[in-house]
Amino acid sequence: MHYPNILPSAGFEIFGATIGAKELIVIAVSIILVIALALFVDRSRLGKAMRATAQDRDAAQLMGIDIDQTIAATFFIGALLAGAGGTMFGLYYGTSVFDLGFSAGLVAFTAAVFGGIGNIYGAAIGGLVIGMIQSFWDGYFDSAWTQVIIFVVLILVLVFRPSGILGMRVPEK
């Protein structure tokens, strides 16, 4: 599917690198969405219910939290964020395909594990690190090995820091 070209394509140069307006818009929208999600999860009543449900469903239900409604709201918020990401992708690249979500979801899951499950800022940093690894590897080496290198780095992080980069150790039940 073709997207209309509504984002400005102008750019400017900083230290020899050209940065386009599209890149700045994508970065700004991403930062805004990450901060908004983190504030929502940390400070809202539904965010508190989401965290309680994720930690212990039975205890959350005993405290009066409607588990089914909380899970449905969580999936709704996830769908909204996926839609925002797909829209940014389409506006940036000018096209979209039906199976875009599979590869993006795989990278997003890898970023969440890499940054630390349950840590929104960790997932964002994990995505940034994975993007930098992918760009570096595609620029200097054979791009056929990019996914392998990303998963090797992920495995190394999980071997030496099982909770991820910013994850914290959760006590076992």
- Tens digits of pLDDT across the chain (173 residues): 777 788 777 888 888 888 888 888 889 999 999 999 999 999 999 999 999 998 899 999 999 999 999 999 999 999 999 899 888 888 888 888 888 788 788 888 888 888 888 888 888 999 999 999 999 999 999 888 888 888 888 888 889 888 888 876 555 55
pLDDT score for 36: 96
Amino acid in the structure at residue 162: P
Please state the pTM of the whole predicted model. Answer: 0.79
- Whole-number CA gyration radius for the chain: 19
Distances (CA, A) of 155 to 14, 146, 151: 35, 14, 6
pLDDT score for 58: 93
Amino acid in the structure at residue 163: S
Question: 22 with 93: CB under 8 angstroms?
Answer: no
pLDDT score for 169: 55
Distance CA 143, CA 137 (A): 7
pLDDT score for 41: 93
